[in-house]
Amino acid sequence: MKILVIEDDLEAAAYLIKAFNEAGIVTDHASDGDVGFYLATENTYDVMVIDRMLPKRDGLSIVSELRKKSIETPILILSALGQVDDRVTGLRAGGDDYLPKPYSFSELLARVEVLGRRKGMRDNETVYKVADLELDRLAHEVHRAGQKINLQPREFRLLEYLMKHAGQVVTRTMLLENVWDYHFDPQTNVIDVHISRLRSKIEKGYDEALLRTVRGAGYILKSDS
């Protein structure tokens, strides 16, 4: 995967480049809006990470200009402004995701990977499969090793999201956003409880643990085999 990071804070950018490279992601960097816009239009990237406040050219205007030029690369907007209305303006400008500063790198990485693999990925599949776990999106049914598992509607959506992004780390906030459509940070670990309940339903009595906790980041659904 190849991404573009437009971030004017050089120290933060150096850290991001190093961390993305370690995660196996090739990273181009621009430190102001003009260079960023040039790179974004000249090269092809899988994902762009754009800071909202940039010298020379504002992040949001880059996003809307790229969309006008029909460049549909997934864009994640980074911002120190993290309120409800800021998120809305960011997404309205054409951003695909919005991450308020300060963020943890694992959160950013998880989101970038989800955005990067999003293109045409699994939206058309009606059945998701991970090892012996199967989720039928049309019939709203889940089977493991041929055995039907009864899930509540929300548990189904939770599993659906995890399976759609199987093999990728999804964070708690990503789950809260995509499964519950809330963007705040609940004080207690609400998501953890839902996950452990889901886990007990899909894993109790089976050999392989598919839904794993990634410490400091979130969860990943994958099979070793």
- Contact residues for other proteins, defined by CB under 8 A: 82-85, 88, 100, 102, 104, 154, 180, 182-188, 190, 193-194, 196-197, 215-216
- The CA-based angle 100-71-45, given to 5 degrees, is 70
- Residue 65: closest CA among 28, 37, 86: 37
- Shortest spacing between CB 129 and other proteins, in angstroms: 26
If you count them, how many residues does the chain have? 225
Compute the least distance from the CB of residue 100 to other proteins, in Å: 8
Pick between residue 46 and residue 160 the one whose CB is nearest to other proteins.
Answer: 160
Least distance (Å) from other proteins to the CB of residue 187? Answer: 5
Distance CA 28, CA 8 (A): 13
Q: Which is nearer to other proteins, 11 or 85 (CB)?
A: 85
CA–CA distance, 16 with 133 (Å, rounded to integer): 35
- Give the span between the Cα atoms of 225 and 221, in whole angstroms: 13
Task: State the nearest-atom distance from the C-beta of 105 to other proteins, in Å.
Answer: 10
Which residue lies nearer to other proteins by CB, 70 or 187?
187
Which tokens sit at 164? 């759609």
- Select 56 or 92, whichever has its Cβ closest to other proteins: 92
Nearer to other proteins, 117 or 172 (CB): 172
Burial 141-173 (b: 16+ CB within 10 A, else e): ebbbeeeebebeeebbbbbbbbbbbbebbbbbb
- Write down the least CB distance from residue 214 to other proteins, Å: 12
